[in-house]
Chain A
Amino acid sequence: MLQVYLPVAEISVNLLVMLGLGAAIGFLSGMFGVGGGFLLTPLLMFSGIPPAIAVATGANQIVASSVSGALAQWRRGNIDFRMGFVLSIGGVVGAFAGVLLVGLLSRLGHADVFISLVYVIFLGVIGSLMLAESLRAVWRTRAGKPATQKPGEHTWIHKLPFKMRFQRSRLYISAIPPLILGVIVGLLASVLGAGGGFIIVPAMIYLLRMPTHIVIGTSLFQIIFVTAVTTMLYATLNRSLDVVLALLLVIGGVIGGQFGVNAGQKLKGEQLRLMLAVIVLAVAIRLMIGLLVPPADLYSLAPMMVRP
């Protein structure tokens, strides 16, 4: 019984449970090469952390995992800094809007439902897509064909103005799509307390047509900015960041991450994606049940949130 009191969340949690949660998320993120925030925030919510605090603290934890991830990618030359900055500018704008939105909904008492609902939609859609794609890939490799996709051709995106040259991505495209993409990811990242890698990575590959090996590093690079700004905004505007909880999760995450990388190297890409798809769908279903099943207690208390 190692109880730790969280000074901002104002609840007591078990030290080992939170370290374990951080380690589990670190393991998954190391194994699958994802940030893990989109799993961390729901799991924190399941373990009784108020959603507004889960989101802010989740964002803080992602800063740590994306820094180490981005450094590793940078050593391999896989970051397009120019693209990363354009995405980050949009991301910061989106994060601002998201934090204000969550603050407003918290005061109205609707933050819990809103965060859960956005999660159900995104995890449901992405989980289903991943499941379908990985099942096809597994089936295709069984049939003896390589599990790859054909590169795309030019789309309407290439006809927009304000063109910029992105050297590392070998792209000459308008700055508008990356900026808008940044805003959307920033908004989602701040509402969900996740890095938003599960949105931005497919968008960069399929919409911006960036080379796949540059996408991971660049998205990690911009996630550092977006989650750092989100953390700052939650701390100053909503006062919903719990640094003690974040520290526990970070420590657990660092340890779990190393084991995850090793485990991930032993599995095939399609198998990994299939497993991740199943986990993502399971979390979405669990959140969905929480929204549909009549609550055990209809009444809840909350301190009056005073605008700082």
Chain B
Amino acid sequence: MRHVLTFLFASLLLSLGLTAAAEEQRPEVVQSDISMREISIQSNFTGVEIVLFGSIDFSKAPAPDEKPYDVIMVVRGPDRPLVIRRKERIAGLWMNGDSKTFSAVPDFYAVLASRPFRAIASEEMLKPLGIGFANLDYGKTVEGDNTDDEFRANLIRLQQEHRLFQESDDAIGFIGRSLFRGSVDLPVNVPIGRYTTQVFLFRDGKLLSQSQSSLQVHKVGLERVVYMLAYRYPLTYGLLAVLIAISAGLLAWTAFRRE
């Protein structure tokens, strides 16, 4: 009996030691999630902050204040074609002249990083992952591309001004050895659709692991009804608008008539 107990105890100790050793060797895996899986836009919507958080399994950080890891997060909305136009002076009037159509511009695109992401990894590493405005594709332009770069640069500038493109170098903070969190502001004009969030874990410029999740931005309540009517049932929508106006006119006439 005693032998058996000794054996069990010994094997338990052994297995614990072995797991610890195995943990030392197993590669790091990043896990992540979002504070909100669904964002509802109502008439009182003024923007929302979402928090992305995650942890590094099998972290080899020796101490909480030593951080060998770098984390980059990308939040990306659905793509859609966008036209960018440049105004020119024609016959004394300022009007739209040249334009370029980019076939797939993300409606929303944010990059968060634990430090400037160009210092985290090389361009060759970042480009295929779609990290950074300059490394995005934006689809093919419909017209020629002789002044393409100028239009592209202004497309990025305008999207940034509308807060639809964001780059933030210090938006991710570590908590202890393996936890981290980052936050991104979705502005009031955030487009609806399915968003993907990607979390990349780097160490010494090498991609160790990545994780993905998604969130849905949609309209609810009156917003949704109006939007649906306007785009799915435009005839009903138009009729409704006319009926509202006619009844308002009738109401005004009956309420205020003087005879």
Contact = CB atoms under 8 A, between A and B. Distances in A.
* Chain B associates with chain A: yes
Interface of A: 3-5, 7-8, 10-12, 60-61, 63-69, 71-72, 75, 109-110, 112-113, 117, 224, 228, 231-236, 239, 241, 243-244, 246-247, 250-251, 254, 257-258, 291-295, 297-304, 308
For chain B, the bracket of interface size reads 35 or more
Contacts of A72: 253, 257
Among all A-B residue pairs, the 5 with the closest Cβ atoms? A67-B249, A235-B238, A63-B245, A304-B81, A68-B253
Question: SS class of chain A's interface: helix, strand, loop or mixed?
Answer: helix
Given A5-B188, A239-B230, A250-B248, A109 B85 contact: yes
B251 A302 contact: no
A64 B158 contact: no
A301 B155 contact: yes
Given A7-B219, A301-B155, A113 B249 contact: no
A7 B96 contact: no
The residue in A61, A235, A302, A303 that gathers the most chain B C-beta atoms within 10 A of its C-beta is A235
Interface string B90-114: 0011111001010000000000000
29 contacts: A7-B226, A8-B226, A10-B189, A64-B246, A64-B248, A64-B252, A67-B250, A71-B250, A72-B253, A75-B259, A112-B96, A113-B93, A113-B95, A117-B93, A231-B242, A232-B235, A233-B238, A235-B230, A235-B241, A241-B230, A244-B43, A254-B248, A254-B251, A258-B252, A295-B87, A299-B86, A303-B82, A304-B81, A308-B234
Contact of A64 (B87, B229, B249, B257): B249
Given A72-B257, A235-B238, A304-B81, A67 B246 contact: yes
Given A64-B245, A64-B252, A299-B87, 5 more contacts: A60-B241, A67-B250, A228-B242, A235-B235, A303-B82
Given A7-B227, A71-B249, A109-B96, A250 B244 contact: yes
The residue in B219, B223, B231, B253 that gathers the most chain A C-beta atoms within 10 A of its C-beta is B253
A6 to B, nearest CB: 9
Contacts, number: 173
A61 B85 contact: no
B164 to A, nearest CB: 9
Contact of A7 (B84, B159, B223, B251): B223
Given A64-B252, A241-B230, A304 B189 contact: no
B87 A5 contact: no
A300 B84 contact: yes
B159 A301 contact: yes
Nearest to A298: B87
Interface of B: 41, 43-46, 80-87, 89, 92-96, 99, 101, 151, 154-155, 157-159, 162, 188-189, 219, 223, 226-227, 229-231, 234-235, 237-242, 244-246, 248-253, 256-257, 259
Nearest to B87: A298
A68 B250 CA distance: 6
B258 to A, nearest CB: 9
Nearest to A3: B46
B238 A258 contact: no
B133 to A, nearest CB: 14
Nearest to B235: A236
Contacts of B223: 5, 7
A246 B189 CA distance: 20
A92 to B, nearest CB: 13
A7 B256 CA distance: 32
Contact of B158 (A5, A10, A232, A299): A299
Nearest to B259: A75
